[in-house]
Amino acid sequence: MAKTKQGKRDIDSYTIRGTTKVVRVGDCVLMRPSDTDNAPYVARVESLESDGRGSVRVRVRWYYRPEESKGGRRQFHGAKELFLSDHFDTQSAHTIEGKCIVHSFKNYTKLDNVGPEDFFCRFEYKAATGAFTPDRVAVYCKCEMPYNPDDLMVQCEGCKDWFLTA
C-alpha cells in the first residue's frame, strides 16, 4: 500500500455502506446529492484513502449531465448521456449510493437492454471553458444532427443514409 499523508493510506476497495457492492479505482459510482430531489451525481473513482480510523475518502472525476454544462441539453443528447469532465474532487465514501456503468457511445448503442445503471459518454468536457472534445461529431439524417440513441433511425437501402422516424 502506498503511503499518502501522515496516518492516511491508499486502499484497494471500499464496500458501499448497507450493501455487498465493492468499489475499486476505475469504477463508476452514483454519488448522493445534497438536494435529495436531484438525481445522483455520476463520477469515476480515481483513488480511495483511509485514515486508519474507519473514515474513507474517495477522489473522483465527475461526469456532467448535458443540462449541467454551459451549452445545456440539446436535441441530440441522449437521456443517459454524460460528459467526462476535468473536474476532480474528494468526498466521503459514505456519499456513494451505488455503482453504475458508463459505456462508450458505440458500446451503449449495441446494448440489448439499457438498465437504470447504464449511461454513455461520447465527449470530454472542460468545466471552466465549456469546451468539448471532440468538438464535432458525425451528423445523420436530413436534419444533420448527431445521432441520439433514444431516437429510432432507419437506413435507406438505396442511398444508405440514415433517417429519423417520426
CATH class, range 9-135? mainly beta
Burial class from Cβ neighbours inside 10 Å (0-12, 13-18, 19+) for residue 28 reads buried
Answer yes or no: is pLDDT of 5 > 70: no
pLDDT, tens digit (0-9, with 9 covering 90-100), for 106-153: 899 888 999 999 999 999 999 999 988 877 766 655 665 666 666 555
The domain limits of the chain are: 9-135, 138-165
Instruction: Return d(Cα 71, Cα 73) in angstroms, integer.
Output: 7
Answer yes or no: is pLDDT of 76 > 70: yes
10 Å Cβ neighbour count for 159? 8
pLDDT, tens digit (0-9, with 9 covering 90-100), for 80-106: 999 999 999 999 999 999 999 999 988
> According to the model, what pLDDT value does residue 19 have?
93
